[in-house]
Each structure stands twice: as C-alpha cells, then as structure tokens.
Amino acid sequence: MALESTTYISGLVVTNPTSSDNISDGDNHIRLLKSTIKATFPNIAGVVTGTSTQINDAVSLSNSATHSSTNNTLVRRDGSGNFSAGTITAALTGNVTGNVSGSAGTASTAGRWTTARTISLTGDVSGSASIRGDANANISVTIADDSHNHTITNVDGLTAALSGKVDNGQVLTNVPSGAVFTDTNTVYTHPSSHPISLISGLQAALNGKLSTTGNAATATYATSAGSASSATNATNATNATTATNAGNANTVDNFHISTSQSGSAANTIYFRT
C-alpha cells in the first residue's frame, strides 16, 4: 500500500495511491488529504474570495516590502520600528514626539506659512516686520519729521502745563503783535510805541486838560501858561498876571506824570510804551 506519511499539503505524493493498491485503501488516502488541508490552513473559517492573481500579487508585495523609501513597494518597519518615506499626504491628529526633520510643507513647518510675508507701514510713519505665522512680530515705528500738524488742543495736557508758567506781576517785553494774556496781573509791553489815538478813550480824556497855552487870556488846566492874563489850575504859570491853584511843573491835578517802565507811586500817572 503506497500511503505517504505527512502533515501538510507539501508532503503529499501526487502518484499515490498506486494502481496496485486495494480499493479499500482509498479511504486512507482521502483521510490523509483532509488532514493535510486542515493542518495547512488551520484558520480558514470562511470563503476566500481573492483570485489566484490577487493572492499571488499580495504575496509578492509582502515579500518585497522594505523599510527604505522604495517606489512601488509596501513599507515595513526595520528592527527598531522605523521606516523611511517620501512625501506623506494625510490629515494628522495628535502630537508629534521625538526628532522631526524636513522642509517646507512637511511636519516640521506644518504650524506656519510656507513663505514668510513682510508687512510694511507707509505714509507719515515707516516700519516693517517679517511674519511667518508661527510667532508674534513687533514693528518698530519711525515718524517722519514735519509730516503732520497738531493744534495745541490736540496735545493732551499741554494747555494745562503752560498755564501758570508766567508768574503774576511779571513784566514781559518784546511780546509779538497779537499776543493775548488773560491773566489780569500780567503786564506786557510792545517793542514799538503806540500813538495816543490807539489808546481807547485817552484822547477824549486829555482834551483841554494838557494843552499848551501861550499868551492866552485864560489858561485852564494847561501844562504851561506863558504871559497869560490868568492861569487857573495850570501845571506851570509863567509871567501870568494871575496864577490860581497852579501846581508844580509836570503835574496834572497834583498828579505827577511819568514814562518810567517801573514804579507804582500812588500820586503818579504812568505812561508806559
């Protein structure tokens, strides 16, 4: 009886049984086929739908798999669990640990723009900064000289800071024409003299008070009465027939007249130009 002894399909002898075997020995051959098939494919519990070509291709790809970046092959890990690859396109989630290297567009730069952009300020100010998307950037601003104007009211606190800088009672000189001071205790003088006609009300107040009368029959409130018949309340009465209540020279109603830029005598009228 030609009956081989084997466990797996690979051990079966295709020439068995021989023609000289008894028909009854066929049962033993059938039993051997069943046992080797089950031993060879112990986990086949369902239908295998792959064709022979598909199965062969899968086996071929599996056998040629490598941990290197090789075209048209499956990737398998090396003995350390690592593998190499070219560009990987995927939606990645989770955290990356360990050393990561690469160029723009890879995992090492996934958190920033692939090309840095420069933002610049123009106009009255200038400055620029390069931004690549993964960090903040500061712009140092330079304001161009004489590039714009501000009124005094637009400068916070300037009006208040200037108020009170001129002390009360201080005398200012050479003040530009048109200057205005609201502090009533501050006196200022203009570099040029003012004609009497520009001093409001002074001309009318002095009319008839400070005229010079020479050889007049009557000189009333005159600064000088020369050869007059009568000099009443005159500052000077020269060669007058009658000099009534005449005061000293350079006085009006017993008030002295002065052009001094200082002084505060109670009996003096000051004309400051």
Q: Look at residue 249 in the predicted model and tell me its pLDDT.
A: 45
The residue with tokens 């995992």 is: 107
Radius of gyration of the chain (CA): 61
pLDDT of residue 103: 55
- Tell me: the pLDDT tens digits for 25-48? 889 999 999 999 999 999 999 999
pLDDT confidence of residue 95? 77
Range with the largest mean pLDDT of 17-26, 160-169, 200-209, 243-252: 17-26
Beta bridge partners of 269: 257
Domain assignment present for residue 176? The answer is no
The proportion of the chain whose per-residue pLDDT surpasses 70, expressed as a percent, equals: 60
- Confidence band, pLDDT 50/70/90 cuts, at residue 262: confident
Closest residue by Cα to residue 255 from 244, 236, 269 = 269
Residue 260 in any domain: the answer is yes
What lies within 8 Å, CB to CB, of 166 at 6+ separation is 172, 181, 183, 186
Contact 129, 117 (CB under 8 A): no
Residues 97-138: tens digit of each pLDDT: 766 665 555 556 666 777 888 999 998 889 999 888 888 889
Other residues' Cβ atoms within 10 Å of the Cβ of residue 17: 18
In terms of residue numbers, what domain contains 239? 208-270
As a whole number of angstroms, the distance between CA 68 and CA 86 comes to 10
- Smallest CA-to-CA distance from 206 within 193, 219, 222 is with 222
Examine residue 93 and state whether it is found in any structural domain, yes or no.
no
- Judge contact between 225 and 231, C-beta under 8 A: yes
Domain count, the chain: 3
* Mean local confidence (pLDDT), 186-213: 55
Does 163 or 192 have the greater pLDDT score?
163
